[in-house]
Amino acid sequence: MSDALLSIHVRRKTFGETLVLKDVKLQLQPGEVVSLLGPSGCGKSTLLRIAAGLDRDYSGELSSAGESVAFVFQEPRLMPWLSVARNIGFHDDGHYDQAWVRQLIEEVGLSGFAEALPKALSGGMAQRVAIARGLYSRPKVLLLDEPFSAVDAFTRMKLQDLLLDLARRHDIALLLVTHDVDEALYLSDRVLVMGHRASGIGGGIDVDLVQPRDRRDPVLAELRIQALTQLKSAHVV
């Protein structure tokens, strides 16, 4: 498909002698939410870093919307010396778009914290700032590397809803790396299951449920079994 926002084909990616990714293809359509689900070390984060352009040492092709791709890391990675507002507008140094930053602060639910320093924030709040920083450049694609793995279960659910809400509001496609089956199914239109090292993308699961979803939906429970079966056949669990 030519209208894909992001199209990756990694023929080979190695770390030294170790082959990490082999013949992996991935496309992201506008407005789509795709999860990469797999165990640690399966190369899913590497794939994401390639998609972000952070890792250029591979053979294959990447075509992306360039400037309009943003990245949210596993940790908030805020600059500890900058206020929340300045962290969000970090891309534009001191002369950031203040109105836009104010709106983003509002949207991620941090009103009143614009001038707070990162050390005053909880883990969940810091990750909200990181998401707002990702949205600042008005991306078409947001890449997220296990963005909620460091927060507690309840905060995680809230942040998941926030993320979906923001993606819909700003018409952003999401590519998300996770090792949480429930998270992948709850968020995504497509879940791609990755097996162990270099075994590539095995199966995929299409989640044909409208958003917003109900976490208690029995269809999700069924898909969960399907996902676990795929993970099992990939010798992950």
Partner 1 sequence: MSASENTLAKAAPAPRRASPAWRRGAKGWLLPCLIVIVLEIVVRVGWIPAYQMPAPSDVALTLVELAQGALGKHVLASVGRVLAGFVIGASLALVFAAWVGLSREAEAYLEPTFAGLRAIPSLAWVPLLLLWLGIDETSKVVLIAIGAFFPVYVNGVAAIRNIDRKLVEVGQMYGFSARRLTLRILLPAAMPGLFTGLRSGLSMAWMFLVAAELIAATKGLGYLLSDGRETSRPDIVLAAILALAVLGKLSDGVLAAVERRCVSWRDTFTGEATGNRS
List of residues contacting partner 1 (CB under 8 A): 52-54, 70-71, 73, 75, 77, 79-82, 90-91, 93, 108-110, 112-113, 117-122, 124-125, 128, 155, 158, 162
User: Is the CB of 17 or the CB of 57 nearer to partner 1?
Assistant: 57
Alpha helices (H) in the chain, listed in sequence order: 44-52, 84-88, 98-107, 123-136, 153-169, 181-187, 218-233
| Minimal distance, residue 228 CB to partner 1, in Å | 31
Q: How far apart are the C-alpha atoms of 129 and 140, rounded to whole Å?
A: 19
Given the complex with partner 1, which of 102 and 224 has the nearer CB atom? 102
Least CB distance to partner 1 at residue 19 (A): 24
Choose among 91, 38, 34, 99: nearest CA to 68: 91
Per the document, the length of the chain is 237
CB nearer to partner 1: pick between 3 and 56: 56
Question: Shortest Cβ distance from residue 81 to partner 1 (Å)?
Answer: 4
Least separation in angstroms between CB 86 and partner 1: 10
Q: How far is the CB of 225 from partner 1 (least distance, A)?
A: 32
| CA pseudo-torsion sign 217, 230, 26, 159 | positive
User: Smallest distance from the beta carbon of 123 to partner 1, in angstroms?
Assistant: 10
| Token output for 77 | 């990675």
Q: Return phi, psi of residue 103, to 5°.
A: -65, -40
Give the orientation angle of helix 98-107 with respect to helix 123-136, to 10 degrees: 140
Closest to partner 1 by CB, 62 vs 162, is 162
Q: Which is nearer to partner 1, 69 or 201 (CB)?
A: 69
CA–CA dist 212, 156 (Å, integer): 16
Q: Which two tokens stand for residue 66?
A: 């360039």
Complex with partner 1: residue 174 or 193, whichever CB lies closer: 174
